[in-house]
Amino acid sequence: MDQGSLEMWLHPTYKSNHHGPIKPRILTLYARISIGIDIAYALDYLHNQCKNQIIHCDLKPGNILIDKNMFARIADFGLAITLPEYPSMNLCSSSTGIRGTTGYIAPEYGLGCKMTTKGDTYSFGILLLEMLTGKKPTNRMFRGGLNLHNFVSLSLPDDVIKITDPLMKVMTSANKGDDKRVEDCLTRMYSIGLACSKTSAKDRPDMRDVLYELESIRNIF
Protein backbone atom coordinates (compact mmCIF):
# COMPACT_ATOMS: atom_id res chain seq x y z
CA MET A 1 0.00 0.00 0.00
CA ASP A 2 1.07 3.57 -0.72
CA GLN A 3 1.40 4.68 2.91
CA GLY A 4 2.85 1.50 4.38
CA SER A 5 1.60 -0.30 7.46
CA LEU A 6 0.04 1.04 10.64
CA GLU A 7 3.12 -0.31 12.43
CA MET A 8 5.29 2.17 10.51
CA TRP A 9 3.05 5.05 11.53
CA LEU A 10 2.76 4.14 15.21
CA HIS A 11 6.42 3.24 15.71
CA PRO A 12 8.42 5.22 13.14
CA THR A 13 12.14 4.77 12.73
CA TYR A 14 13.99 8.06 12.82
CA LYS A 15 15.99 8.64 9.66
CA SER A 16 18.11 11.45 8.29
CA ASN A 17 19.54 12.68 5.00
CA HIS A 18 22.13 15.27 4.01
CA HIS A 19 19.74 18.01 5.20
CA GLY A 20 19.52 16.51 8.69
CA PRO A 21 16.90 14.45 10.55
CA ILE A 22 13.73 13.54 8.65
CA LYS A 23 10.64 14.41 10.66
CA PRO A 24 8.52 11.26 11.19
CA ARG A 25 4.95 11.15 9.92
CA ILE A 26 2.41 11.40 12.72
CA LEU A 27 -1.22 10.33 12.91
CA THR A 28 -3.64 12.82 14.46
CA LEU A 29 -6.33 11.66 16.86
CA TYR A 30 -8.95 12.08 14.13
CA ALA A 31 -6.89 9.91 11.78
CA ARG A 32 -6.56 7.23 14.45
CA ILE A 33 -10.30 7.24 15.06
CA SER A 34 -10.88 6.85 11.32
CA ILE A 35 -8.39 4.00 11.05
CA GLY A 36 -10.08 2.30 14.00
CA ILE A 37 -13.41 2.63 12.18
CA ASP A 38 -11.95 1.13 8.99
CA ILE A 39 -10.64 -1.89 10.91
CA ALA A 40 -13.89 -2.32 12.87
CA TYR A 41 -15.87 -2.12 9.62
CA ALA A 42 -13.75 -4.87 8.08
CA LEU A 43 -14.08 -7.10 11.15
CA ASP A 44 -17.85 -6.56 11.25
CA TYR A 45 -17.96 -7.73 7.63
CA LEU A 46 -15.86 -10.82 8.34
CA HIS A 47 -17.76 -11.71 11.51
CA ASN A 48 -21.34 -10.75 10.66
CA GLN A 49 -21.85 -10.38 6.92
CA CYS A 50 -20.04 -13.31 5.31
CA LYS A 51 -21.97 -16.56 4.73
CA ASN A 52 -19.59 -18.31 7.12
CA GLN A 53 -17.87 -16.21 9.76
CA ILE A 54 -14.17 -15.56 9.20
CA ILE A 55 -11.67 -15.14 12.04
CA HIS A 56 -8.54 -13.26 10.99
CA CYS A 57 -6.45 -14.65 13.88
CA ASP A 58 -3.51 -12.26 13.49
CA LEU A 59 -4.72 -8.69 13.86
CA LYS A 60 -1.79 -6.36 14.62
CA PRO A 61 -0.38 -3.05 13.31
CA GLY A 62 1.91 -4.81 10.85
CA ASN A 63 -1.12 -6.40 9.17
CA ILE A 64 -2.99 -3.12 8.76
CA LEU A 65 -2.06 -1.36 5.51
CA ILE A 66 -2.77 2.31 4.79
CA ASP A 67 -3.63 3.39 1.25
CA LYS A 68 -2.95 6.71 -0.46
CA ASN A 69 -6.19 8.18 0.89
CA MET A 70 -5.31 7.07 4.44
CA PHE A 71 -7.93 4.33 4.50
CA ALA A 72 -6.93 1.24 6.47
CA ARG A 73 -7.12 -2.28 5.07
CA ILE A 74 -6.69 -5.57 6.93
CA ALA A 75 -4.03 -7.70 5.24
CA ASP A 76 -2.37 -11.12 5.57
CA PHE A 77 -5.10 -13.72 5.90
CA GLY A 78 -2.55 -16.53 6.09
CA LEU A 79 -3.73 -17.62 9.55
CA ALA A 80 -7.43 -16.87 8.97
CA ILE A 81 -10.07 -19.49 9.70
CA THR A 82 -13.52 -19.81 8.17
CA LEU A 83 -15.89 -21.08 10.81
CA PRO A 84 -17.62 -24.32 9.77
CA GLU A 85 -21.30 -24.35 8.96
CA TYR A 86 -21.74 -26.98 11.65
CA PRO A 87 -20.72 -25.69 15.13
CA SER A 88 -20.00 -29.22 16.37
CA MET A 89 -16.77 -29.35 14.36
CA ASN A 90 -13.65 -29.02 16.53
CA LEU A 91 -11.97 -25.63 16.33
CA CYS A 92 -10.26 -25.62 19.70
CA SER A 93 -6.95 -23.78 19.75
CA SER A 94 -5.35 -26.84 21.33
CA SER A 95 -6.08 -28.88 18.20
CA THR A 96 -5.49 -26.20 15.56
CA GLY A 97 -2.47 -24.66 17.27
CA ILE A 98 -2.37 -21.18 18.79
CA ARG A 99 -2.58 -18.65 15.97
CA GLY A 100 -1.50 -15.04 16.15
CA THR A 101 1.24 -12.80 17.47
CA THR A 102 2.37 -12.52 21.08
CA GLY A 103 0.65 -9.62 22.81
CA TYR A 104 -2.42 -9.71 20.57
CA ILE A 105 -3.58 -13.31 21.14
CA ALA A 106 -6.79 -13.72 23.15
CA PRO A 107 -5.99 -15.25 26.56
CA GLU A 108 -8.53 -18.06 26.18
CA TYR A 109 -6.57 -19.46 23.23
CA GLY A 110 -3.69 -20.22 25.56
CA LEU A 111 -6.08 -22.37 27.58
CA GLY A 112 -7.09 -24.41 24.57
CA CYS A 113 -10.54 -22.83 24.28
CA LYS A 114 -12.61 -22.79 21.11
CA MET A 115 -11.61 -20.18 18.55
CA THR A 116 -14.32 -17.55 17.99
CA THR A 117 -14.73 -14.10 16.52
CA LYS A 118 -14.26 -12.72 20.04
CA GLY A 119 -10.57 -13.57 19.64
CA ASP A 120 -10.36 -10.95 16.88
CA THR A 121 -12.26 -8.56 19.12
CA TYR A 122 -9.58 -8.97 21.79
CA SER A 123 -6.82 -8.29 19.26
CA PHE A 124 -8.68 -5.20 18.07
CA GLY A 125 -8.95 -3.92 21.63
CA ILE A 126 -5.21 -4.27 22.19
CA LEU A 127 -4.54 -2.68 18.81
CA LEU A 128 -6.78 0.28 19.69
CA LEU A 129 -5.02 0.79 23.04
CA GLU A 130 -1.68 0.67 21.23
CA MET A 131 -2.89 3.26 18.71
CA LEU A 132 -3.79 5.62 21.55
CA THR A 133 -0.86 5.10 23.92
CA GLY A 134 1.85 4.48 21.35
CA LYS A 135 2.96 1.50 23.45
CA LYS A 136 3.25 -2.04 22.13
CA PRO A 137 1.71 -4.79 24.28
CA THR A 138 5.17 -6.37 24.39
CA ASN A 139 6.82 -3.23 25.80
CA ARG A 140 9.37 -4.11 28.49
CA MET A 141 7.45 -2.02 31.02
CA PHE A 142 4.68 -4.63 30.97
CA ARG A 143 5.79 -7.31 33.40
CA GLY A 144 5.02 -8.55 36.89
CA GLY A 145 1.29 -8.70 36.20
CA LEU A 146 1.12 -5.33 34.45
CA ASN A 147 -0.03 -5.40 30.84
CA LEU A 148 -1.30 -2.83 28.35
CA HIS A 149 -4.94 -3.41 29.34
CA ASN A 150 -4.25 -2.96 33.06
CA PHE A 151 -1.98 0.03 32.42
CA VAL A 152 -4.81 1.87 30.70
CA SER A 153 -7.49 0.70 33.13
CA LEU A 154 -5.54 1.97 36.13
CA SER A 155 -5.01 5.35 34.45
CA LEU A 156 -8.62 6.19 33.61
CA PRO A 157 -10.16 8.65 33.87
CA ASP A 158 -7.78 11.02 35.66
CA ASP A 159 -4.60 10.31 33.71
CA VAL A 160 -6.06 9.89 30.23
CA ILE A 161 -3.85 12.62 28.75
CA LYS A 162 -0.77 11.42 30.60
CA ILE A 163 -0.87 7.93 29.06
CA THR A 164 -1.64 9.11 25.53
CA ASP A 165 1.00 9.00 22.80
CA PRO A 166 2.85 12.34 23.17
CA LEU A 167 3.31 12.64 19.41
CA MET A 168 -0.44 12.49 18.89
CA LYS A 169 -1.03 15.03 21.67
CA VAL A 170 1.17 17.57 19.90
CA MET A 171 -0.76 17.17 16.68
CA THR A 172 -4.14 17.23 18.41
CA SER A 173 -3.39 20.39 20.38
CA ALA A 174 -2.16 22.20 17.30
CA ASN A 175 -5.26 21.36 15.27
CA LYS A 176 -8.13 21.43 17.76
CA GLY A 177 -7.48 23.47 20.84
CA ASP A 178 -10.52 22.05 22.58
CA ASP A 179 -8.83 20.12 25.40
CA LYS A 180 -12.03 19.00 27.13
CA ARG A 181 -13.51 17.58 23.95
CA VAL A 182 -10.25 15.79 23.15
CA GLU A 183 -10.09 14.34 26.66
CA ASP A 184 -13.68 13.09 26.46
CA CYS A 185 -13.00 11.56 23.06
CA LEU A 186 -9.89 9.79 24.33
CA THR A 187 -11.73 8.46 27.37
CA ARG A 188 -14.43 6.94 25.19
CA MET A 189 -11.84 5.46 22.83
CA TYR A 190 -9.88 3.94 25.68
CA SER A 191 -13.09 2.52 27.13
CA ILE A 192 -13.80 0.75 23.84
CA GLY A 193 -10.31 -0.70 23.80
CA LEU A 194 -10.71 -1.94 27.37
CA ALA A 195 -14.11 -3.49 26.66
CA CYS A 196 -12.79 -5.32 23.61
CA SER A 197 -9.74 -6.66 25.45
CA LYS A 198 -11.53 -8.03 28.51
CA THR A 199 -10.18 -11.34 29.77
CA SER A 200 -13.50 -13.15 29.37
CA ALA A 201 -14.57 -13.59 25.75
CA LYS A 202 -18.28 -13.47 26.62
CA ASP A 203 -17.84 -9.99 28.08
CA ARG A 204 -16.42 -8.51 24.87
CA PRO A 205 -18.77 -6.56 22.58
CA ASP A 206 -19.74 -7.52 19.06
CA MET A 207 -17.72 -5.67 16.41
CA ARG A 208 -20.88 -4.16 14.96
CA ASP A 209 -21.56 -2.39 18.25
CA VAL A 210 -17.92 -1.30 18.40
CA LEU A 211 -18.21 0.15 14.90
CA TYR A 212 -21.32 2.16 15.81
CA GLU A 213 -19.66 3.55 18.93
CA LEU A 214 -16.51 4.60 17.05
CA GLU A 215 -18.59 6.28 14.36
CA SER A 216 -20.53 8.22 17.00
CA ILE A 217 -17.24 9.45 18.48
CA ARG A 218 -15.98 10.63 15.11
CA ASN A 219 -19.28 12.37 14.33
CA ILE A 220 -18.98 14.65 17.36
CA PHE A 221 -15.22 15.16 17.26
Per residue in 107-123, pLDDT tens?
999 888 889 999 999 99
pTM of the model: 0.90
Instruction: Tell me, yes or no, whether 110 lies in a domain.
Output: yes
Q: Which of 168, 103, 197, 110 is nearest to 142 (CA)?
A: 103
Q: Is residue 19 part of a domain?
A: no
Alpha helices in the chain (DSSP H): 6-10, 29-44, 93-96, 117-133, 148-155, 166-175, 179-196, 207-220
H helices of 11-116, in order, are 29-44, 93-96
Please give the share of the chain, as a percent, with pLDDT higher than 90.
71
Q: Give a yes or no: residue 21 inside a domain.
A: no
> How far apart are the C-alpha atoms of 77 and 65, rounded to whole Å?
13
What confidence score (pLDDT) does residue 220 get? Answer: 86
- Average pLDDT, whole number, for the chain? 89
**pLDDT confidence of residue 16:** 59
CA distance 132 to 10: 9
Active site residues: 58
pLDDT at 26: 86
Domain limits for position 143: 6-12+26-220
Phi, psi for residue 68 in degrees, rounded to 5: -65, -20
- Whether 1 maps to a domain, the answer reads no
The predicted structure's pLDDT at residue 104 = 98
**Structural domain tally of the chain?**
1
Percent pLDDT > 70 in the chain is: 86
CATH number of the domain residue 130 falls in: 1.10.510.10
Asked whether residue 30 is assigned to any structural domain, the reply reads yes
pLDDT at 95: 46
pLDDT band at 174 (very low <50, low <70, confident <90, very high): low
In a domain, 129, yes or no: yes
Examine residue 177 and state whether it is found in any structural domain, yes or no. Answer: yes
